[in-house]
Structure 1
Amino acid sequence: MAAIKKIGVIGAGRMGSGIAHVCALGGFAVHLSDIDETRLKHALQSIEKDLARQADKVKISENDGKAALARIATGAGLDGFKDCDLVIEAATEDEEIKKAILKALCPNLKKSALIATNTSSISITRLAAATYRPEKFVGLHFMNPVPVMALVEMIRGAAMKLGAHHPMGPLELADFIGLDTCLAIMNTLRQGFDDPKYQPCPLLAEHVKAGRFGRKSGRGFYNYT
């Protein structure tokens, strides 16, 4: 899988602007798009204020904030996504609107590009089916407010196996290690660092509670019986 250098974000509302903020601060070039150019303008203003606030609190340097803002480009159409390695859809939480956006997006992407949705309630598999590349589609659920909450939930659809092009994806690797071991590690990190980004995924805890520890028990994220 090619390295991700440029990230596209569809939707310049609170979530979309927050995602653009953290991606740019992480060093990625970002293209933020929305059908409403006024909303795009307000999003950039909001990001600039949030970056300045982080600098005032000494969470980032002033130069880091300016550099992050400079990495963000905006546009109302889909042309800006042609060279993106990953595009994150963060439009309104309406399934039909999201499907229409994703269907229109696909012809504007390079073949290797990944697509993600920030939905918190709509089936990832149904949204993936609206694209021409369901095997490259994943859910990335950012927590709100994005610049403050260092936690992202990843959800795969039925057509995607995480870690494509690698001998073993992360879920298969977790099964190999043992889900009970993974849970214990995450709990230790969460308590030791007091950082919510190490909070174990609820699904992981559910599997362990049900005795599904991975390969050693015959079933985990995958079935080995």
Structure 2
Amino acid sequence: ILLLCVYIFSMISDSSGVMVYGRYDQFLREVLKLPTAVFEGPSFGYTEQSARSCFSQQKKVTLNGFLDTLMSDPPPQCLVWLPLLHRLANVENVFHPVECSYCHSESMMGFRYRCQQCHNYQLCQDCFWRGHAGGSHSNQHQMKEYTSWKSPAKKLTNALSKSLSCASSREPLHPMFPDQPEKPLNLAHIVPPRPVTSMNDTLHTSLDGAGGHWCLILSTENHDIPATYIAVSSKS
């Protein structure tokens, strides 16, 4: 989800790394067509206040502020479904080597759900989404969603690490990025190459550089070394 949010911000920010509300508003208009198409418009549809409601307390939104908002728990109301959609795509091929307590499938793919009241009661995503329950388990019980599988040995290692303060109690939601984006490389001074009129011609492209010119020589006569860079003194 981090890379997705960074990409979205790159499309709606200006050259100084500040979000443009007009672009964000246009982004919401387009992306909120997805929940509307599946009849979730009343809950997640676009309104004229959608863009401002996401960043009501921020006048200047940088990448870090944008990530803080979209990756918070919960995210803005109109985009609650977006992290879920991303998790669905990521967990589609995740394998869990445990048995479903309802359909008794020997393993699970996708999401795994574990009851917080019943001992070792776990459901595959199909049974959970259909509301299946068996034995002493009830649909009213709190369930925890898992997107990966950890062996008992791995769980024990993590528990020991936390008890010995070897692991951070709270990790940041995202890495911190500089407020000012890196300036792109200016290639305006590069002279475009002249067109090659024959395969036997030699193409010379000169680039002004410190202390002289850099010449790129391409020759069809030498097949072992197709390109050679030669520094030529500007005084010659």
**What TM-score comes out, normalization by structure 1 length?**
0.29
Which has the larger helix fraction? 1
Using CA pairs below 8 Å that are at least 6 residues apart, which structure has the higher relative contact order?
1
Larger radius of gyration: 2
**What TM-score comes out, normalization by structure 2 length?**
0.28
